Amino acid sequence: MEVAVAGVEHVEHEQVVAGGDLVDLGQHGVGTVRVAADAAERALLWKGRKSAFGAIAQIAPHYHLHDCVVPRTKLAEVLGGVYAIAKHHDLIVTNVFHAGDGNLHPLFSFDLAVPGTMDRVLAAADELVRLCVDAGGALSGEHGIGLEKRDFMPLVFTEEDLNAQACVRAAFDPDGRMNPRKVLPDGARCGDYAAAALARAGGLPEGAWI
């Protein structure tokens, strides 16, 4: 696994000084540490990171990506769980992620031409999300909820939370035109939203505030 780290002040004999603290990386299973000597080498290291997704296509024609985020102290534990999930569902998994902020990017590689594969991928994804939430994480670190994670929202938000979010959304988008049916799962409703719909249908006096 290759990890890019910002804020490293000095590296010597696999010991890193960062933020004024001395960290012995060898005690944490680190094999080697490479520091870019100049801007050109730094760009080359980043090129390797940015080419990762293209390289995944050499493994299989399709992949399923998640971006759950977990506390950094739980990274090793959760990564072990990710590999266990992939093994259980007979899938290849590759992890390309932001180790510094706990943002995971497990990619399940697969071939849709193989019958039953998508069912295994979605089952693995379901377990992955629950694993991250159980570790104290969140559903998304950067990509958002959309449709894919919409029905996982109750794992981290109460019914009252979801209703409040629905009310805020309805205040700005009473006609439900912006990203319809995304983010909030079925059942997240707001009483004012129903009243607004009634008003638009002529059920309330014109000009009434709700």
Q: Do residue 56 and residue 44 come from a single domain?
A: no
Asked if pLDDT for residue 118 goes beyond 80, the answer is: yes
The percentage of the chain sitting over the pLDDT mark of 90, rounded to a whole number, equals 36
Asked if pLDDT for residue 4 goes beyond 80, the answer is: no
| Contact yes or no for 200/194 (Cβ under 8 A) | no
Most confidently predicted of 49-53, 102-106, 184-188: 102-106
Asked if pLDDT for residue 82 goes beyond 90, the answer is: yes
Q: Do residue 68 and residue 122 come from a single domain?
A: yes
Tell me: the pLDDT tens digits for 151-195? 999 999 999 999 999 899 888 888 777 877 788 887 666 644 444
In a domain, 73, yes or no: yes
CA distance 200 to 197: 5
Average pLDDT, the chain: 80
In a domain, 136, yes or no: yes
| Contact yes or no for 143/68 (Cβ under 8 A) | no
Structural domain count, the chain: 3
Q: Do residue 64 and residue 111 come from a single domain?
A: yes
Q: What is the extent of the structural domain holding 173?
A: 151-200
In a domain, 77, yes or no: yes
Which residues lie closer than 8 Å to 69 by C-beta, 6 or more apart?
A: 101, 102, 103, 104, 132, 137, 138, 140, 141
10 Å Cβ neighbour count for 93? 20
Tell me: the pLDDT tens digits for 120-155? 999 999 999 999 999 999 999 888 898 889 999 999
Pick from 112, 123, 169: which is nearest to 145 by CA? 169
In a domain, 210, yes or no: no
Identity at 128, one-letter amino acid code: L
In a domain, 206, yes or no: no
In a domain, 183, yes or no: yes
CATH number for the domain including 137? Answer: 3.30.70.2740
Degrees (nearest 5) of the Cα angle 96, 99, 100?
A: 145
Q: Do residue 76 and residue 111 come from a single domain?
A: yes
Q: Do residue 71 and residue 109 come from a single domain?
A: yes
CA distance 94 to 119: 19
Residue 47 C-alpha from the chain's centroid: 22
Q: Do residue 139 and residue 95 come from a single domain?
A: yes
pLDDT of residue 1: 46
Q: What is the mean pLDDT of residues 44-67?
A: 86
| Contact yes or no for 69/132 (Cβ under 8 A) | yes
Q: Do residue 41 and residue 60 come from a single domain?
A: no
Q: Do residue 69 and residue 136 come from a single domain?
A: yes
Q: Do residue 159 and residue 178 come from a single domain?
A: yes
